[in-house]
């Protein structure tokens, strides 16, 4: 154990001692009780995970973030708040790591929810129980401002019988704010202790609750700075200081000549034929190939949402929900680099002593050319009016219609023009030749012709939804009312995938697709035992059954059931269980591909450094829907006043899971599991595959190694494929305790975590199941968050520990044991004055101070080369590279 590790362990142990060794996250485990309290406070509320009005889901629990948790969170946007839930894994569609399945389509650097780590598209994101427009891939929860959100409810259980496609791992429901009566303003500023990163947020919400309804509107502006890899020492190819390899490349500025099997480092001041004697045989320049790259991009958010409800009569209510969101990004890329062939016709050609050939190779980084940075935006809006009619016998009919559009755009304009570069390298005219020898003799006018390859990728989508919901009590049993929820839904989705890739005059073309879905569902709640007939051993017994049929216009039909049970044998003990099937229809980009190209990429070499390879993108018309069966058993206990405990064991068997390896630059670390799949080729077979696709007319993006396709030793079929099966099992646990220690003081301890017991994957139906649990870029075994909060009158002090357990980096050779990541946050909140106080300045004023990662915990070292899609020297999916951050928040209620 190193000295830094020992000191870190001591600090963590000290904090845990101060926290009475109690772990958790504020109020997450109170979810089920919050749902029950909400039912009592507002008759007829619909809780996520069930369509039945007034009932929480049977057999499953709800993780809930209310207004207090949203305000206490150190995250600036809703998507990052949800990331803090232990059941959520940062794999795939993430702003900081695009290397996992689904990441290749995340060209606008958004975030989504990946419950259980099963997949970024296997969790359904809803707003107030209905679907919302998206870019045909996933929903980014940041489309709503945090000031306009009442609560977030998460059900980490299969829910396709309730909500349809995508709810394989669970569902996230973002519920807009409807209870605000007045105004609320918020301002926040945070900065890292090295000054390399800052974030700002400003927001305002206005609401009015009146006798027959309510109205609310909220706006928020958030700016989050980029974080450059150059500002973090661990993001490096030279990992010798951490005990790893020196994986630096020779593609540097100045470059390295490879002539006749001998390398020559070009001197810092450049070299000419007159100074060729200064070239030293056997020398080479070494540098970081990902120098200058952002670990995550600069992001700006502007979001607004509104709600409204009006009771036209005692039996007729009209409502309206709407939102608009635009998120823009700018991401700095590494400088372009390549190994290029330089013929002796080059006007600046330098012949090393003893070399008699007509050309040689130069490994080079094009720092004199503009880097191929990317920028763009994600914009969406939707309006959802509804009508609710109260019918006889406590039934309600609700009619909803939704209409929304989305526009995404990613663009870059400075890709290397290979044809122009090769011509400039071969030119004997100094006015049109490229000086690759560091002498600065290239005509500046030439640069614009060498880096002018464009990439423009817009996505335009439109969603129309129609829903009819019927909800009410069928009849009475001694245990309570038997209730029914049934309905019909229709979705009409259109998407246009645009692309322009090539020279500056390349036209922008669109491919247009459409999909419609018709669905019917029914759900029944049956209370066998309840308050009216409770008996010893059966204080309460509830059953729930649901079924849903979905008919797709393009991928067929599916029917999915779900069953749940709650059993309360004695007060304070609830046993529960659920079983159901789920499905996910492949997205349109998964079927048809975002593009059809061969991409030249740098793959992480298990022995250190990188290997240049090629990946194929394109359509796969044989994709089938994913299917899953899920079951869980659990128990909730209230053994003492103020103490609540919960545990759930769950199992997900996922078949035909869609995976794409287009952005998986670490695939060589798991090469063995792809044997015989036609997904990964190495050696001469790789070059043969590349050449066959070139012969078929598939274009190449990037610069092939010298020697062309025959020199390629890694080929990856990056198109979407159906996996054979994956099996994931684990245990979720919660513990919460609150106690008053004086009339003015209380302590609250919370724990929430997940422990995976199994994650096994078969790449094809005929392949064996391979154990992938706790391996890098796969679901990790253990995650939790724990807090202790001391409330002293208007002051509230909280200490929060996040723990991401250690795992194995099997991409390295030999395999590496990676340590855990344990950042600690401290926050202080002061409620200066009550909202109804008489002082205009202090009434409704709340001040907050926060130190995130107070001990400046560094990400554990991970032996993997820096990648254009995230990670390198650290694991972007398991650790935060920011370090210590100071933040201040001010809130004012009127």
Q: What distance, in Å, lies between the first and last C-alpha atoms of the chain?
A: 54
Q: Which long-range contacts (CB under 8 A, 24 or more apart) does 254-257 make?
A: 254/285, 254/437, 254/438, 255/285, 255/362, 255/363, 255/364, 255/365, 255/436, 255/438, 256/284, 256/285, 256/362, 256/363, 256/364, 257/350, 257/352, 257/360, 257/361, 257/362
Length of the chain equals 894
Are 773 and 755 in contact, with CB atoms under 8 Å apart? no
Are 830 and 790 in contact, with CB atoms under 8 Å apart? no
Which pLDDT score is estimated for 44?
A: 64
Averages of pLDDT over runs of 10 residues in the chain (894 residues) are 41 36 34 39 72 93 90 86 88 80 81 87 93 87 95 94 93 95 96 96 97 97 96 94 92 96 96 96 95 95 97 97 97 94 97 95 96 96 98 94 96 95 96 95 95 95 97 95 97 95 93 96 97 95 97 94 97 96 92 88 85 92 92 96 96 91 87 86 94 93 89 93 91 96 94 96 84 93 96 95 96 93 96 81 92 96 90 93 96 93
Query: By C-alpha distance, which of 756, 582, 513 is closest to 124?
Result: 582
Instruction: Output phi, psi for 8, to 5 deg.
Output: -60, -45
Tell which phi-psi region holds residue 840, choosing left (phi > 0), alpha (psi between -120 and 50) or beta.
Answer: alpha
Are 44 and 52 in contact, with CB atoms under 8 Å apart? no
Helix (H, G, I), strand (E, B) or coil at 785: strand
Q: Which two tokens stand for residue 250?
A: 């020779």
Sign of CA dihedral 359, 365, 369, 374: positive
Structure-derived torsion over alpha carbons of residues 689, 693, 696, 697, reported in degrees to the nearest 10: -150
Are 783 and 86 in contact, with CB atoms under 8 Å apart? yes
CB neighbours of 407 closer than 8 A, spacing ≥ 6? Answer: 377, 378, 379, 380, 458, 459, 460, 461
CB neighbours of 888 closer than 8 A, spacing ≥ 6? Answer: 188, 189, 190, 847, 848, 849, 850
CB neighbours of 129 closer than 8 A, spacing ≥ 6? Answer: 46, 48, 173
Across 383-396, b (16+ Cβ under 10 Å) vs e yields ebebebebeeeebb
Q: Cis link prior to 667 (omega < 30° from 0)?
A: no
Q: Which two tokens stand for residue 572?
A: 């304070």
Sign of CA dihedral 593, 596, 602, 604: positive
Q: Is residue 841 classed exposed, middle or buried when 0-12, 13-18 and 19+ CB atoms within 10 A define those classes?
A: exposed
Instruction: Output phi, psi for 148, to 5 deg.
Output: -100, 15
Instruction: Output phi, psi for 445, to 5 deg.
Output: -65, -20
Are 191 and 885 in contact, with CB atoms under 8 Å apart? yes
Q: Which two tokens stand for residue 782?
A: 């253990």
What are the extents of the domains in the chain? 20-231+296-332+375-413+456-594+622-661+722-893
Would you identify the CATH topology of the domain 20-231+296-332+375-413+456-594+622-661+722-893? Answer: Maltoporin; Chain A (2.40.170)
CB neighbours of 675 closer than 8 A, spacing ≥ 6? Answer: none
How far apart are the C-alpha atoms of 117 and 103, rounded to whole Å?
13
Which pLDDT score is estimated for 32?
A: 38
| pLDDT tens by residue, 488-543 | 999 999 999 999 999 999 999 999 999 999 999 999 999 999 999 999 999 999 99
Instruction: Output phi, psi for 67, to 5 deg.
Output: -60, -40
Which pLDDT score is estimated for 607?
A: 81
Instruction: Starting at the earlier edge strand, list the strands of the sheet with 262-265.
Output: 262-265, 256-259, 359-365, 337-343
Sign of CA dihedral 232, 235, 237, 242: positive
CB atoms within 10 A of CB 708: 14
| pLDDT tens by residue, 23-39 | 333 333 333 344 443 43
DSSP secondary structure, 696-716, as one string = TT-EEES-PPTTGGGG--EEE
């Amino acid at each position: 154990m190193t000295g830094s590790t020992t000191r870190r362990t001591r600090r963590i142990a000290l904090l845990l001692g101060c926290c009475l060794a109690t772990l958790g996250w504020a109020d997450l485990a109170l979810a089920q009780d919050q749902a029950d309290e909400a039912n009592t406070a507002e008759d007829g509320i619909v809780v996520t995970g069930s369509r039945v009005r007034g009932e929480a889901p049977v057999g499953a629990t709800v993780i809930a973030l209310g207004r207090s948790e949203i305000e206490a969170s150190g995250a600036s946007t809703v998507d990052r708040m949800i990331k803090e839930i232990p059941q959520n894994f940062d794999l795939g569609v993430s702003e900081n790591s695009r290397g996992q399945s689904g990441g290749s389509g995340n060209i606008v650097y958004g975030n989504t929810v990946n419950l259980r780590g099963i997949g970024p598209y296997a969790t359904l994101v809803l707003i107030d129980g209905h679907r919302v427009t998206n870019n045909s891939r996933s929903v980014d929860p940041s489309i709503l401002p945090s000031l306009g959100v009442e609560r977030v409810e998460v059900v980490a259980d299969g829910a396709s019988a309730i909500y349809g496609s995508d709810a394989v791992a669970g569902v996230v429901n973002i519920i807009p704010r409807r209870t605000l009566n007045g105004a609320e303003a918020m301002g926040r500023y945070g900065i890292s202790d090295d000054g390399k990163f800052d974030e700002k947020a400003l927001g305002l919400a206005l609401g009015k609750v009146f006798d027959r309804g309510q109205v609310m509107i909220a706006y928020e502006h958030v700016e989050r700075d980029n974080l450059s890899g150059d500002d973090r020492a661990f993001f490096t190819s030279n990992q010798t200081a951490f005990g790893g390899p020196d994986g630096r490349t020779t593609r540097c500025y100045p470059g390295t000549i490879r002539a006749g099997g001998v390398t020559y480092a070009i001197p810092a001041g450049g070299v000419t034929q007159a100074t060729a004697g200064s070239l030293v045989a056997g020398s080479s320049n070494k540098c970081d190939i990902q120098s200058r790259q952002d670990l995550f991009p600069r992001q700006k958010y502007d979001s607004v949402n509104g709600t409204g409800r009006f009771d036209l009569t005692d039996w007729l209510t009209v409502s309206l929900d709407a939102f608009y969101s635009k998120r823009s990004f700018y991401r700095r890329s590494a400088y372009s680099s390549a190994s290029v062939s330089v013929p002796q016709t080059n006007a600046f050609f330098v012949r090393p002593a003893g070399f008699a050939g007509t050309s040689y190779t130069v490994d080079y980084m094009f720092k004199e050319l503009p880097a191929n940075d990317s920028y763009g935006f994600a914009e969406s809006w939707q309006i959802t009016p509804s009508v609710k009619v109260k019918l006889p016998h406590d039934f309600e009919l609700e009619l909803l219609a939704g209409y929304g559009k989305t526009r995404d755009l990613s663009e870059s304009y400075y890709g290397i023009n290979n044809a122009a570069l090769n011509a400039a390298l071969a030119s004997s005219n100094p006015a049109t030749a490229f000086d690759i020898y560091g002498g600065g003799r290239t005509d500046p006018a030439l640069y614009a012709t060498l880096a002018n390859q464009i990439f423009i990728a817009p996505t335009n989508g439109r969603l129309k939804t129609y829903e009819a919901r019927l909800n009410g009590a069928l009849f009475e049993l001694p245990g309570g009312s038997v209730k029914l929820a049934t309905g019909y839904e229709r979705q009409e989705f259109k998407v246009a995938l645009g692309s322009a890739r090539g020279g500056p005059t390349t036209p922008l073309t669109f491919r247009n697709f459409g999909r419609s879905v018709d669905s019917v569902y029914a759900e029944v709640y049956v209370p066998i035992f309840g308050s009216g007939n409770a008996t010893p051993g059966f204080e309460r017994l509830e059953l729930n059954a649901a079924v849903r049929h979905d008919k797709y216009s393009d991928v067929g039909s599916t029917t999915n059931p779900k069953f749940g049970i709650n059993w309360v044998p004695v007060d304070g003990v609830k046993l529960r269980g659920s079983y159901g099937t789920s499905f996910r229809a492949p997205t349109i980009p998964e079927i048809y591909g975002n593009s059809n190209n061969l991409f030249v990429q740098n793959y992480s070499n298990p022995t250190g450094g990188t290997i240049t390879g090629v990946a194929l993108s394109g359509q796969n018309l044989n994709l089938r829907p994913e299917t899953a069966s899920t079951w869980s058993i659990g128990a909730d206990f209230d053994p003492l006043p103020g103490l609540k405990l919960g545990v759930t064991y769950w199992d997900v068997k996922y078949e035909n899971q869609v995976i794409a390896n287009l952005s998986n630059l670490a695939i060589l670390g798991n090469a063995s599991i792809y044997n015989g799949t036609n997904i990964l080729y190495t050696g001469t077979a790789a070059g043969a595959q590349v050449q066959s696709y070139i012969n078929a007319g598939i274009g190449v993006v990037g610069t092939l190694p010298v020697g062309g396709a025959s020199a390629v030793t890694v080929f990856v079929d990056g198109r979407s494929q159906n996996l054979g099966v994956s099996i994931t099992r684990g245990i979720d646990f919660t513990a919460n305790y609150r106690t008053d220690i004086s009339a003015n003081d209380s302590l609250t301890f919370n724990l929430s975590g997940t422990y995976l017991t199994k994650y096994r994957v078969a790449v094809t139906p005929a392949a064996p199941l391979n154990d992938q649990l706790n391996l890098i870029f796969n679901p990790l075994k253990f995650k939790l968050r724990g807090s202790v909060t001391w409330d002293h009158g208007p002051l509230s002090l909280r200490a929060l520990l996040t723990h991401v357990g250690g795992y194995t980096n099997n991409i390295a050779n030999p395999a590496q044991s990676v340590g855990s990541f344990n950042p600690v946050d401290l926050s202080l909140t002061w409620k200066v004055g009550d909202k109804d106080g008489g002082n205009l300045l202090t009434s409704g004023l709340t001040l907050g101070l926060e130190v995130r990662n107070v001990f400046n915990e560094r990400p554990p070292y991970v032996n993997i080369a820096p990648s254009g899609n995230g990670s390198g020297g650290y694991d972007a999916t398991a650790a935060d590279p920011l370090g210590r951050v100071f933040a201040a928040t001010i809130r004012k209620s009127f």
